[in-house]
Amino acid sequence: MKTLLENVDFVLTVDKDDTVIRNAAVVIHDDRFVDIGPTADILQRHSREAFDRIVDGSLIGLCPGFIDSHVHLSETLSRAVFPDNLNTREWVFHWAKPFYAHVSEEDEYWGALMGMTEMLRSGTTCFLDMGSQYDPGITVRAMEQTGIRGITARHAADNRPEILPPGWSEEMVQHHFFPNAETALAELRACVEEHHGALDGRARCWVNIEGKEPCTLELHVGARKLAEELGVGTTYHLATSIEEARICEQKYGMWPISRIANAGGLGSNLIIAHGAAVTEDEVELLERHDAKIAFCPSASFKLGKGATNIGKYPELVEAGVTVSLGTDGVSAAGNMNLMRQMLLFTGMFKDSRMQADVLTVRDALRAATIDGAKALMWDDEIGSIEVGKKADFVLFDLDHVEWTPFHDPMQAIVFSASTASVRETWVDGKPLYRDGRVVGVNERDVRSKARELAAAAVIRAGLHDNNVPTSSSVYDEGN
């Protein structure tokens, strides 16, 4: 299949020079871009008769598909369940864990479908999922149906608390917490060997772990080493809040990233999720080891992680550290809308630093596209509009109030536009969202099933009760 999109108002290539092409055309052969440039130049190089499909791009803008570098698809059924007055540790140990303890494989599958439809409607074409509570194959099945690109895994930990908090089930603990790092890594290896490269390479599988207190230092370090051996990446939560940093300092005399670095655990195939509690010295450590950060602005806002207070994200970007954007799970962020994360990413630091030139729209768009691709070790194929790369992109309806009028498309896409003006989302040269619907699924059925399963899971987990703790001392002492 050879496709021509012609007369496109603009193409934001997000190449190394952030080239913007006006009155542009792109040529797609099967799943890849084979030519890009001004429409007049493209039509001089290609006969119109050579195309199987010609699309008029008048009043349409095009940019790379957005890449969500930190999401929890297994949390999708928990939207607007957890309250907004919790710090990170209380949120995890007294709300998220009980929810996980009562989520079934069926829940995960339908939740993954629900999450993927939201992502495609929002222009997201690729994601890094923290991992299934059961098996990565659940996520892969949902990816097969929707057509989206992504990375998934099997969630794992090896340091169970001495006393299980309320709402945790022994069944969940037995499945989620391995007896030691060696056992966990053996299972993660098997998952990668079974699922990595599925769906003709559209699905990848990584060596992901939960991170933080539920994981030993051996598992943190071992996950990255195993991933390197297998030629994949790893991601885990770390330095997520000042509370986590203070407990780490109390126990080990240093903040979390320094502890991992001292054990030889940093590397180019590691994405640290959140990375809010980072010292100036740790910025240099991350740069030196080429470790990546997945920043989730909405989750920081809801959980009070302190991104604008203690966060070093502008310093990380300035130092050359790859900072990508994630939404986190819908219970933490409220949405899987990466466009909202771009707006927050650039705006929150301009305001908190009272410095308008901190983290510009260029930085925001790159964090949501090419830097996400670099973090996911996929920038050879996705993240920018360049010849030879996969045809993953978003089309915006410029005949929309959000785009009327506009001059600079990069300013407009970050500060003016929203998902309301997303017209189409393409992956592998195929439109997966168009005409107001996700092509591969019956969205009405997915939403109906999600509502049914979510209501039952919340009741099973006891999260409808007013007696759920809102403070936590889990992992404060001992292990």
Q: Is the residue at 474 inside a domain?
A: no
- For the cut 80, the answer to whether the pLDDT of residue 464 exceeds it is no
* Single pTM value for the model: 0.96
The two structure tokens encoding residue 242: 């000042």
Of residues 378 and 96, more confidence is placed in 378
CATH code of the domain covering residue 324: 3.20.20.140
pLDDT at 462: 84
- For the cut 60, the answer to whether the pLDDT of residue 477 exceeds it is no
| Parent domain of 388 | 2-64+384-438
Give per-residue pLDDT as tens, 68-77. 999 999 999 9
Together in a domain, 55 and 149:
no
Report the range of poorest mean pLDDT among 163-177, 347-361, 406-420: 163-177
Together in a domain, 46 and 74:
no
Alpha-carbon torsion 104, 91, 124, 448, what sign? positive
Together in a domain, 285 and 407:
no
Together in a domain, 26 and 88:
no
Give per-residue pLDDT as tens, 16-42. 999 999 999 999 999 999 999 999 999
Q: Helix 443-461 to helix 105-121 angle, to the nearest 10 degrees?
A: 130
Total number of domains in the chain: 2
Q: Is the residue at 452 inside a domain?
A: no
Distance CA 274, CA 236 (A): 9
Reported in sequence order, the residue ranges of 30-181 that DSSP labels E, i.e. its strands, are 32-38, 53-56, 60-64, 66-71, 124-129, 149-152
Alpha-carbon torsion 352, 358, 359, 362, what sign? positive
Give per-residue pLDDT as tens, 207-260. 999 999 999 999 999 999 999 999 999 999 999 999 999 999 999 999 999 999
Question: Across all residues in the chain, what is the average pLDDT?
Answer: 95
Together in a domain, 49 and 127:
no
Together in a domain, 207 and 324:
yes
| Residue 479: pLDDT band with limits 50, 70, 90 | very low
Of residues 460 and 147, more confidence is placed in 147
Q: Return the closest-CA partner of residue 442 out of 71, 146, 173.
A: 146
Q: Is the residue at 80 inside a domain?
A: yes
Together in a domain, 348 and 310:
yes
**Residue 134 near residue 168 (C-beta atoms within 8 A):** no
Together in a domain, 118 and 99:
yes
- For the cut 70, the answer to whether the pLDDT of residue 328 exceeds it is yes
The two structure tokens encoding residue 46: 């290609």
CB contact set of 382 (below 8 Å; sequence gap of 6+): 64, 65, 67, 125, 126, 149, 373, 389, 390, 392
pLDDT at 466: 65
Together in a domain, 118 and 195:
yes
Q: Is the residue at 174 inside a domain?
A: yes
pLDDT at 450: 95
Q: In 3-state terms, what secondary structure has residue 93?
A: helix
CA 121 from centre of chain? 15
CA 113 from centre of chain? 15
User: In the predicted model, what is the mean pLDDT of residues 175-182?
Assistant: 94
pLDDT at 205: 98
Together in a domain, 106 and 252:
yes
pLDDT at 478: 47
CATH code of the domain covering residue 36: 2.30.40.10
- For the cut 60, the answer to whether the pLDDT of residue 463 exceeds it is yes
User: In the predicted model, what is the mean pLDDT of residues 345-351?
Assistant: 96
Distance CA 400, CA 411 (A): 16
pLDDT at 473: 66
Together in a domain, 326 and 369:
yes
User: In the predicted model, what is the mean pLDDT of residues 52-80?
Assistant: 96
User: In the predicted model, what is the mean pLDDT of residues 194-216?
Assistant: 97
Q: Is the residue at 477 inside a domain?
A: no
Together in a domain, 72 and 37:
no
